[in-house]
A and B are shown apart, each in its own frame.
Chain A
């Protein structure tokens, strides 16, 4: 008696092959996404625009509940907080009078040295729609896109300091890659020890420091700012503070609390990258000579060229 139905083993085997095929297809999709194709990028921005209101609606109640819980938690330590704030206020008042006199002096010195004035930043501020969570990616979606002049690569800041930079722009939304993401690398400057370096995210709380000179002697707790090297980010934006671990390695602790981001500003200056690139030919050792309309037998200055016999 041979049954016409396929055996259970064959069905299982067929299903297993189908499952593996699906996983394999997804893997191909992952590597296609990594290639950063324009079509994939456009599709991502389209879906981000489309899903942003839905995600915002889902996130809003949870965010509010979390806010209420935080308020309740802080209410228990209200008295201690009040005492701390009073002492802080006293200290700030003393420091502000010092700062005012130093600012005046700085202004006069700038005038004397004829220092070029700083460019004023054009800023577009949007509301963070999604939570930055995720162990494999740390990005935030904001509700401002191409229609506000936002472009890929523009820096994002908050009231505390540097947040990250724009990696994808849709019509109504933009995605900001946070500095703590593993794919983020920013040129930094140690403000007290005066050394440039690069800070890279690790999908954790701290940023690892790379390309710091072996001669550098960093100071624990010194302020770290963007250096502006490469012309991609403007210089002088607060990134965080230097932190020395038990092993002796240096890290940067970001000044921004990425989990409590509500508003993010994008610096939409058009001249951040273009001022350096315009007319700048770089320092490449093997540049091709410029083609100039030189007639045969004449050099570029127009004088007659006498060719040697050997030539």
Chain B
């Protein structure tokens, strides 16, 4: 009896993964193209880390590790950066968000922001360190600070937006 459900189960899993892949790939491309705006001329914010965090913590949607590796891999090819560096960043965001290191009960917006800041900074610092090792020199820090700053500023805006959508949804249901 159970065997009859295996094929639909796998199909369901595959379709979910495919949708995650499309969404994440679209967000990564959108993030890159933001540099056409003069506001993000120095550096673009890391939208992908915000989305992955919200997926895991708020929407309880967990994109698989394989999808994250694949998306990061394609992003590195398109950006021309070191192959695998984005994959490491996305994997670390997922690992930390799933609560291996930071298991904070997110009930308030402030806690949510602090939790994201800790996760994001930890992942970014590791990747930044790997980059320094690879280039054997430290790059200009102003784009790095701008990148981190804009990401941390944008996070509450997106977070509030998601909360607002949920609120409207609940209101409509009631």
Contacts and interface: CB of A to CB of B under 8 A. Distances in A.
Question: Do A and B bind?
Answer: yes
Interface of A: 12, 16, 19, 22-23, 26-27, 29-34, 40, 44, 47-48, 51, 54-55, 58-59, 62-63, 66-67, 69-70, 73, 130-137, 139, 141, 167-168, 175, 177, 182-183, 202-206, 259-260
B100 interface: yes
A29 B84 CA distance: 6
Interface residues of B, number: 46
A63 B85 CA distance: 26
Nearest to A31: B134
A260 B80 CA distance: 18
B contact face: mostly helix, strand, loop, or mixed: helix
Contact of B134 (A12, A34, A141): A34
A135 to B, nearest CB: 5
B81 A134 contact: yes
A26 B87 contact: yes
Contacts of A66: 36-38
Contacts of A62: 30, 33-34, 36
B91 A26 contact: yes
A262 to B, nearest CB: 11
B143 A47 contact: no
A202 B140 contact: yes
Given A33-B83, A205-B140, 7 more contacts: A26-B91, A33-B84, A55-B29, A133-B79, A136-B131, A139-B80, A204-B139
Contacts, number: 141
A51 B87 contact: no
Contacts of B87: 26, 29
Nearest to B140: A204
Nearest to A19: B95
Interface string B6-45: 0000000000000000000010011011111110111110
Contacts of B57: none
B21 to A, nearest CB: 13
A91 to B, nearest CB: 27
Nearest to B100: A16
Given A29-B83, A29-B84, A23 B35 contact: no
Nearest to A202: B140
B38 A70 contact: yes
A136 B88 CA distance: 14
Contacts of B69: 22, 26
B84 A136 contact: no
A175 B83 CA distance: 15
B56 interface: no
Contact of B130 (A30, A132, A135, A141): A30
Interface string B106-143: 00000000000000000000010011001101011011
